[in-house]
Amino acid sequence: MTIPRMAAAALAGVPAGVQAQGVWAGRRQLFVRFAGEAETATMYTSSALLKEIERQLTRSKFHSIAIGGRDPLGNLEFLTAAFADIKLPLPLMLDSDGQRPEALALLAPHLALAQVTVDFVGPEGTRASAIETLAVANGAGCAHALVLCPKDDTIDGQMLRLIEQAHATSAETQVLIHPFLTGEPPVLDRRWATLLEQAVGLHADTRLALRLPAPAGLR
């Protein structure tokens, strides 16, 4: 397949910020953010994106470059045109919902980290694609992580099943659970300590961490 070097996509910008979630949370990153439906978008060609990244890297220090926003792997042609044939000076990570494992197969060789974030919205059956995405990353030799962002109606069994499946898929998966606070003032319920005890029994590399809220945290 020949990929045009001037492929274009609608981005919500290339902001600098602090990663809000996942295994690189708290790292200062340069974000390539695909625009959601309610966001103001700017069209970037792949070459314009690379020039913007180069400009920002000359002005400030970053740990890595993060690809995220709405359905980033739905823009595979653009991402491949931008990143397939260059050597970036910083690690490149992708944060996605794991719904396009076949697309990740083409991008994974260019990534330092493939992060699959599950927010427990929609039918449970769709989460099989998240596990398949971890398998694709593992097969490509790309570091990979499963990030669980439960809602107030997410039960522990749902999370534990995903962790068990992730372990069966790849023992190298990094698993991170972002618990939510409850009460007034907000506190971290003891439920999460119990959940972690069960989770590490299934997969040793599992940990808890709070997300960094906006505006400090970006994703």
Range of 163's domain? 8-218
> What confidence score (pLDDT) does residue 133 get?
97
Q: Does residue 61 form part of some domain?
A: yes
Q: How far apart are CA 218 and CA 26, in angstroms?
A: 10
Tokens, residue 11: 């981005």
Q: Does residue 1 form part of some domain?
A: no
> What confidence score (pLDDT) does residue 219 get?
86
Q: Does residue 3 form part of some domain?
A: no
Question: Domain count of the chain?
Answer: 1
Q: Does residue 136 form part of some domain?
A: yes
The residues with which 13 forms a beta bridge, in sequence order, are 33
What's 23-76 look like in SS3? CCCCCEEEEEEECCCCCCCEEEEHHHHHHHHHHHHHHCCCCEEEEEECCHHHHH
Q: How many CB atoms are closer than 10 A to CB 71? A: 13
> What confidence score (pLDDT) does residue 5 get?
53
The number of angstroms, rounded, from the C-alpha of 90 to the middle of its chain's C-alpha atoms is 17
Q: Which of 197, 119, 199, 195 is nearest to 166 (CA)?
A: 199
**Cβ contacts of residue 61 below 8 Å, gap of 6+?**
28
Q: Does residue 100 form part of some domain?
A: yes
Q: Which of 141, 58, 72 is nearest to 105 (CA)?
A: 141
Are the C-beta atoms of 12 and 40 separated by less than 8 Å? Answer: yes
> What confidence score (pLDDT) does residue 70 get?
87
Q: What CATH number corresponds to the domain at position 63?
A: 3.20.20.70
> What confidence score (pLDDT) does residue 6 get?
61
> What confidence score (pLDDT) does residue 1 get?
35
pTM of the predicted structure, to 2 decimals: 0.93
Sequential pLDDT tens for the chain (219 residues) = 344 456 899 999 999 999 999 999 999 999 999 998 878 899 999 999 999 999 999 999 999 999 999 899 999 999 999 999 899 999 999 999 999 999 999 999 999 999 999 999 988 878 999 999 999 999 999 999 999 999 999 999 999 999 999 999 999 999 999 999 999 899 999 999 999 999 999 999 999 999 999 989 998
Are the C-beta atoms of 77 and 7 separated by less than 8 Å? Answer: yes
Q: Does residue 193 form part of some domain?
A: yes
> What confidence score (pLDDT) does residue 97 get?
95
The number of angstroms, rounded, from the C-alpha of 167 to the middle of its chain's C-alpha atoms is 18
